Amino acid sequence: MRILQIIPSISLIYGGPSQMVMGLSSALARENVKVTILTTDSNGDSGQKPLDVPLNCPVKQDGYEIIYFRCSPFRRYKFSLLLLKWLNNHAHEFDLAHIHALFSPISSAAATVCRQKNLPYILRPLGTLDPADLRKKKQLKQLYATILERANLAGAAAIHFTSDQEAKISERFGVSTHDLVIPLGVIPPVKEGERENAIRTQFGIPFDVPLVLFMSRIDPKKGLNLLIPALEKLLAEGGNFYFVLAGTNPQDPNYEEKIRLQIQNSPLRSHTKITGFVTGEVKSALLQAADLFVLPSYYENFGIAVAEAMVAGVPVIISDQVHIWHQVRDSESGWVGTTDVESLVELLREALQNPAECRRRGLLAQEYALQNFSWEAIARQMIQAYNQILGVAPIVG
């Protein structure tokens, strides 16, 4: 089986979607699926230099290959005529394409090419069909959907959602679709106590206080306007904690700066470390050092950062708009609240005042994540879905 994974960018600066595609590709390769990722060299939307990678030729990595193309003529929108030309010339060499992102010019055009070349394709919307997301730039998206995405949805062999809730609420623009609900995967970190201590020393985090971690894109939808005042209220009550804000926003640096200034002008400033974008060992060490992970998003189609915290054994506090909240609640992997400050204060207070319960829920979180969010299990589900689409196995559901 030869599979194309098509995504506007796999730069880690864009967070979860990039990690997902590379994690899935590696897991598929271990199951003897031949995977090629088509992507661009985009590395941020605010003047950052492109990825320093070879262009227009396969780059071998973890059992699969990546072909990068220069963004041209529209770098801001991660568009590449060369990618589309390559797809047009080579589509016949593949069995199926898995396209990640809607309302992205390169993904939309790739779906059109796949239809023209009779290459079956799956669309993964990345939460863009959520009504809350569609309200942003509503008129433009309605026009875009009318011209491009409605036909792309109608022509897709399946739509890949990462949770039942995402599938349930997603807009289809009047199109009937075959839906696949397959979650995302995470890689368990290697537990190293020395590294946890080193990261506290590196960032000046006291050793005798609980570490509350936010690690995600710094975006208005993530609920920082709820989390910051909730933490301020706990601090005023005499709460004992240290807050780490880890993340960036390559598409909206002004919002990121707004949050930074808000914390600097707050009593939280002496109880907070803002790290910026983290990856690799630093990211892993922060997860292992954390006592509590918080993500009070207004909407979140899956929440890969939540799954990463869970697999690291960290209990989570999330809103009921993060679409794996049912799993978190039912597995007692943390606490689930609503998108308001008082709800968040209550949950944070309960968690911080009960360290034994935090540890218990952290262990349950890790157990659940290892069983349900392992890349091996998800790769097998994905291969079954690919086979069903290709007629190798009967379609179920």
Let me know whether 176 and 67 are in one domain: yes
Confidence of residue 216 (pLDDT cuts 50, 70, 90): very high
Residue 397 lies in a domain: no
Residue-wise pLDDT tens digits, 284-330: 999 999 999 999 999 998 888 999 999 999 999 999 999 999 999 99
Using an 8 Å Cβ cutoff, are 316 and 306 in contact?
A: yes
Which of 66, 53, 59 is closest to 7 using CA atoms?
66
Q: Please count the CA atoms within 13 angstroms of the CA of 323 that sit on its side-chain side.
A: 24
Tokens of 301: 């189609």
- Residue-range definition of the domain harbouring residue 214: 193-372
User: Based on the domain organization, do 207 and 354 belong to the same domain?
Assistant: yes
Q: How far is CA 42 from the centre of its chain?
A: 17
Same domain, residue pair 59 and 158: yes
Of all residues in the chain, what percent carry a pLDDT higher than 90? 80
Q: What is the mean pLDDT of the chain?
A: 92
Residue 54 three-state SS? coil
* Alpha-helical regions (H) of the chain: 16-30, 81-90, 105-116, 131-134, 138-144, 150-155, 164-169, 193-203, 224-236, 253-264, 280-289, 304-311, 325-330, 341-353, 355-372, 375-389
Residues 118 and 204 reside in one and the same domain: no
Residues 368 and 383 in one domain: no
**Does some domain include residue 394?**
no
The answer to the question of residue 319 being in a domain is yes
Reported pTM: 0.85
Looking at the structure, tell me whether residues 341 and 378 fall in a common domain.
no
| Measured CA distances, 83 to 12, 54, 68 (Å) | 20, 14, 8
Distance between CA atoms of residues 111 and 87, nearest Å? 10
**In-domain check, residue 171:** yes
In a domain, 140, yes or no: yes
The CATH number of residue 70's host domain is: 3.40.50.2000
Number of domains the chain contains: 2
Same domain, residue pair 327 and 280: yes
- The confidence score (pLDDT) of residue 26 equals 96
pLDDT one-digit tens code per residue, 149-187: 999 999 999 999 999 999 999 999 999 999 999 999 988
Same domain, 234 and 169: no
162 in the same domain as 23: yes
Q: Which pLDDT does position 110 carry in this prediction?
A: 98
Q: How confident is the model at residue 75 (pLDDT cuts 50, 70, 90)?
A: low
Residues 205 and 344 placed together within one structural domain of the fold: yes
Does residue 15 or residue 295 have the better pLDDT?
Answer: 295
Is 217 in the same domain as 363? yes
The answer to whether position 396 is within a domain reads: no
Based on the fold, state whether residues 17 and 136 are members of the same structural domain: yes
